[in-house]
A and B are shown apart, each in its own frame.
Chain A
Amino acid sequence: MSYTCGMLPVLDQHEDHHYEMSEYEGAKARWCPGCGDHSILTAVQRLLAAEQLAPEQTMMVSGIGCSSRLPHYMKTYGFHGLHGRALPVATGIKLHRPELTVFVTMGDGDCTSIGAGHWVHAMRYNVDMTAMLLDNGIYGLTKMQTSPTTPQGFKSNTQPFGTLLPPLNPLEIALGVTNASFVAQTAEWAPSHLYATLRAAYKHKGFSFVRILQRCPVFTPAIYQKAVQDPARIQLLVHDDGVVTPDLEKIYKSQLHHDPRDLAAARSLAEQTETIKLGVFYKNPSKPRYEESRRVAPRTPAERIALLEKEFARYAV
C-alpha cells in the first residue's frame, strides 16, 4: 500500500540535494531558556542532517506537553496530537506509509502516565520508529504536578508535602515488555552521548525506546544536578553494538562493557539506580516487527473490484 506513496516524489528528485542542518529548522523554539529540550532538538536536527533524511519523508509525532512542541520547531512533517496518544498516531502513520521515517517525542506524563497503555503496546508491536521519552520528572506545561517519574519526596503542586510514591522506572518497564527490541537511556546534558544514542536508535529497525533524562530549569532544575556536577554518579554502558563516545571517556570514567543482546543483564542494570547508566541497555534487531507482518500487496481499483465480485458470489442468493 505504500509503494506509490513513496515513489513519485523521490523519483522526481533528479539531483541529489545535500541538506544542511538549518534546513530542518522550523519555528523558533519557545521553550524556557535553559530547558533541556533545546539540546534534544539540536541533536535531532543534527541526526537528520547526518542521515540526510528528506524533510518531506520525515515525521515528528508528539503528544501534549512541553516536549511535544518539538515538531513545531522542526521543518519536517509534524503531528502534534493529544496528550498521551502520540504512539497510536505514529503507529497508524507507519502502518499506512511505511516508507516514512517516524520520530515520536513524549514527556513523562505523556508516555508513562496517561499514555502508559499505548507505550507498552507500542513496544510490543515493535513498529519501526524512534520514540523519545523526554523525562524531566514533572508536569511542566501545566505547572509542576507530580508525574510518575517525580522523585519521592519532591514537593509539587498536587503533592505539596512531598511526592508520595517512589518514581516509576521507565527502563524496567520497557525491558519487561515482550518483544521490546531497543531500550536506551541518555541525558540531555551529554550532547555527544545524546546524539550517538539517537543515531543508534534511528539505525535500529524496530521500535527504539530512548529515555532522555532532561532538566526542567523552572520546576526540576535539581533532580539530576548531582549527576550533572559529579560524573562519578554516571556510568556509561559501552559496546560496539551499542553506543561508543570516545570524547566522553575522560569525563565519565565509570564504564561498563555491556552487550546489548543480553536481556537479563540489561534488566539487572536497569534495576540498579545508585548510578545513572547511559547507553544502550538492550537491542535485538531480530524481533518481529508488526508492520512487516502486516505488509500487504497493494491492489489496483480494477483488481479490487474483480476480487470483490468474487466475494459477493459467496453471498449470492
Chain B
Amino acid sequence: MSASATAAPAPPKVLRVPEHTVEIVSDSGEGAQKCGQIFAAVSAKMGNGVWTVELIPAEIQPPPRVPEGASGNRIRVGENAVTNWGDRTDLVIAFNEQVLLARHRVDALADDALLLIEDKWARSEDPDIVAQWEAALKELSSKHYRIIPVAMEDECLTIVDNPRKGKNMFALGMLARIYGRDMELIKAQIAYAFRKKSEEVYTQNVALLELGFHWAEDNIDIRVEIPTHASDKPLVVMNGNEAIAMGSIASGMELCAMYPITPATSVSHLLSEVFERFGGIVHQAEDEIAAVGVAIGASYAGKVAFTITSGPGMALKTEFLGLAVMTETPLVLVNVQRGGPSTGLPTKVEQSDMLAALYGQTGDSPHIVMAPATIEECFHIMITARRLAETFRTLVMVLSDANLATGVSPYPTPTLDEAWQAAPLDLAPVKEGQKAYGWNKETGLSERIIPGRPGGMFTLTGLAHDDRSKVAYSSDIHQHSSAMRSRKMAVLQSLLVPPTVYGDASGDLLVVGWGSTKGAIEEAVDRARKEGLKVSSLHLRFLSPLEPGLKDIFKRFKKVMTVEINYSDEPDDPYITEENRRRGQLSILLRNATLVDVDCWGRVPGEPLRPMSIVEAIRGRVPRGGAK
C-alpha cells in the first residue's frame, strides 16, 4: 500500500478557484475518455463553463505503457464560460507513469500540478517496468509536482475481475469527491453512457464510482471548489463536428458525400446515424474526388449538397471545386483542418489550409470562404453557408479545424427556425428567354435552372461558356464571364457589415485572428489589458470576400498582428529578412487587401494555442509603454 493510502484522514484543504484544468490519461482502450466526458458533462450540468479536448494517439492500438500512446481528455472547468483549452493542467489522473511523462514532456502540466498515478507499476514483478517507473519519477521531479500514488487496480479488484475495465469509473469517483460533483447526476450520465449495455454493467460501474469517491474521501487531502452558476438558458454540449452535422440538418441539406479522413469523418458518423430520419443521406464515396463529384451532381440537380473533408482531401477535390465555381453550381465544402502539408498531423489542429482554400484552385476561381470561431458557430454557419451557396450560385467553403472538431463545450440550445431550410425545388417551366446564366451585368448574379424544368434544357460545361452555357469560341466571352463570377464576391462584401473590435476601438496593438483561436486570443487580450497593455482583437468569419472596413479599423492601431496556428518565420530567425519572411496566411491576405504592414505570430505545435503563449507574443510586440 502506498504511503498516502495509509495516511490518517485529515480535514481536507479547500481550494476555491475560478477555474481548474483536469486531465485523465491512460493507454488507449482503458476508458479514460469516457471518464473525462462524463466529468465534463456533469460539470456543465452543474453550471460550470467547460472546455474539453480529446487527447488522441495517432495509432488505433499503440503498445501499452508508451508516451506516444497517451489517450484521454483534458477538461478545463471554470466559474464562467470557458472558450478554449487554457494553459496548463492542474490535476492529472494517470493510469501509468509513461502516459503521464508524455504530458510532462509537452509542457502540458502546471508546475505545481497534482498528479494521481496508478502505482502498481512500482510493484511490478518485471524489473524493466520498475526501472521505467523509477526513471519516470526522476524525470518528473524536475518540476514541483505533487505526486500521489494510488493503488487503483488493487482497489478495483475488490469489485471486478478485469481491472482494465473499471479503473475509469474509480477515477471518476475520485474526481467527483475532489471537485464535489453531484453523484446523482454522474449516475444518470453513466446510465446514459452505458444505455446499450446490461443493467449489471451499470451497477458495477456505479459500485466502482462509489469506491473511488470513498477512497478519495479517506485518502486525498484536497478539495477544489469552482463556483457554479446555473444557466438560465438551456444548453447543449457537443463537439464542433457534431455541431456541423446538426447544422447541416437544420439547413435542410439532404445529401452529404464524403470519404473518410481524420479529423472530419466524425461529422459523417453522427449524420449516418440520424440523417435518413430527416430525409437525407450520407454517401460514402469511393474516393475524395468521387465524393465531391457526387455532391456537385446532387447540387446541380436540386438542393445544395455538401461534402466534408480535411486538407489532403480538399487537395484531391481541387479540380471539381473549380468546376463548381466555373459552372456556378452551389456547393458547401467543410474542411476540418489538420496539420500539414501532406499527411502531416492527422489528428492535430492547424490553420494552414486557408490559402489553399482561397487560392488552391486552378484558374481564377472566386468563391466564398467562411470560418466558424466557436463550437456554437459550427452549428449556425452551416445554415448561412447553404443559403449563400444557393443565392450566390457558388462554392462556399467552411474552414473548421481539429480544435473545434474535438473540443467539447456547452452552448445555448439553438432556437430552431423552419426558415433556415432550403425551399422546395422550383420546377416550374422556365420563363421566356431565361438563360442558363442570366447574369445581371452589375452584380453577376443569376437564377439557376435545374433539370426537370420544362423549356430550360442546356448543357452545363466546365469549358469557358457564354450566358447560354454555349462553349465560348470568341475572345471576349471569357473576360466577361470571369468578371461576372468575380463580381459576386464584391456584391457579397457589399452586404457584409464591418467586424466588431473586441476591446477598445483604438490602441497600440490589434490582434487579428480567424477560426478556432477566438477564445484563446480574447482571453490573452483580457490578460494583457490587465497588465496595462493597450491591446484589442478582431476575429474574422469571412475570409472571401473579406469583411469590409478593415483598413479603417487597422488605422486606429499603431500595430496590427495576426495570431494563427500556421507556420510563419520569426523576424529574427536566421536568414530571415523583411523581404523573404514567410508570413502567417491571414497576414498575407490582410496585407494584400489593406496595404497595411500586418505582422504575424504563429505556432504549429499540433495543439491549440495557449492563452499564455499569446500573451507572451503580445508582450513581445508591444513593450510596456506602448508601441513605437
Q: Does chain A touch chain B in the assembled complex, meaning CB atoms less than 8 Å apart?
A: yes
Chain A hits for B293, CB < 8 A: 81-82, 85, 87-89, 91-92, 118
Check: A315 CB closer than 8 A to any chain B CB: yes
Inter-subunit contact B235/A296 (CB<8 Å): no
- Residues A77 and B459 in contact in the complex (CB < 8 Å), given A88-B294, A89-B294: yes
Interface string of A61-79 (1 = CB under 8 A from B): 1001000000110111111
Chain B hits for A61, CB < 8 A: 297
Inter-subunit contact A307/B278 (CB<8 Å): yes
Interface string of A277-317 (1 = CB under 8 A from B): 00000000000000000101111011011011101100111
Interface string of A25-60 (1 = CB under 8 A from B): 011000000000000000000000000001111011
In whole angstroms, what is the CA distance A36 to B238 when docked? Answer: 58
Interface string of B280-318 (1 = CB under 8 A from A): 110101110111111111111111010000000000000
Q: Which candidate, A93-101, A190-198, A229-237, is the interface stretch facing chain B?
A: A93-101
Chain B hits for A12, CB < 8 A: 428-429, 454
Which B residues between 55 and 88 are near A, CB-CB below 8 angstroms? none
The interface on chain A, measured as residues whose beta carbon lies within 8 A of the other chain's beta carbons, has a size of 64
Check: B359 CB closer than 8 A to any chain A CB: no
Chain A: CB-nearest residue to B408 = A315
Tell me the smallest distance from the CB of A28 to a CB of chain B, in Å: 12
Inter-subunit contact A88/B424 (CB<8 Å): no
Chain A: CB-nearest residue to B44 = A317
Name B's interface SS.
mixed
Chain B hits for A118, CB < 8 A: 286, 289-290, 293
Tell me the smallest distance from the CB of B435 to a CB of chain A, in Å: 14
Inter-subunit contact B278/A75 (CB<8 Å): no
Inter-subunit contact B246/A72 (CB<8 Å): no
Check: A1 CB closer than 8 A to any chain B CB: yes
Inter-subunit contact A294/B457 (CB<8 Å): no
In whole angstroms, what is the CA distance A61 to B45 when docked? Answer: 53
Inter-subunit contact B451/A100 (CB<8 Å): yes
- Residues A8 and B428 in contact in the complex (CB < 8 Å), given A77-B459, A97-B301, A294-B281: yes
Most A CB contacts (10 A, CB to CB) among B277, B305, B463 go to B277
Inter-subunit contact B300/A301 (CB<8 Å): no
Tell me the smallest distance from the CB of A121 to a CB of chain B, in Å: 4
Check: B483 CB closer than 8 A to any chain A CB: no
- Residue in A75, A304, A307 whose beta carbon sits within 8 Å of that of B421 in the complex: A304
Chain A: CB-nearest residue to B303 = A96
- Residues A6 and B410 in contact in the complex (CB < 8 Å), given A79-B460, A80-B461, A88-B290: no
Check: B555 CB closer than 8 A to any chain A CB: no
Inter-subunit contact B463/A80 (CB<8 Å): yes
Chain A: CB-nearest residue to B238 = A315
In whole angstroms, what is the CA distance A5 to B45 when docked? Answer: 44
Inter-subunit contact A95/B428 (CB<8 Å): no
Most B CB contacts (10 A, CB to CB) among A26, A75, A78, A121 go to A78
In whole angstroms, what is the CA distance A121 to B301 when docked? Answer: 21
Inter-subunit contact B302/A96 (CB<8 Å): yes
Check: B456 CB closer than 8 A to any chain A CB: yes
Inter-subunit contact A92/B286 (CB<8 Å): no
Tell me the smallest distance from the CB of B405 to a CB of chain A, in Å: 16
Chain A hits for B302, CB < 8 A: 1, 5, 96-97
Inter-subunit contact A97/B451 (CB<8 Å): yes
Check: A90 CB closer than 8 A to any chain B CB: yes
- Residue in B249, B286, B462 whose beta carbon sits within 8 Å of that of A117 in the complex: B286
Q: List 29 A-B contacts (CB under 8 A).
A: A4-B427, A5-B425, A9-B427, A9-B453, A9-B454, A60-B459, A61-B297, A78-B460, A79-B297, A80-B461, A80-B463, A81-B296, A82-B319, A88-B289, A91-B294, A92-B293, A92-B296, A92-B300, A94-B297, A95-B255, A95-B297, A97-B452, A99-B452, A118-B289, A299-B277, A304-B252, A307-B278, A312-B414, A317-B237
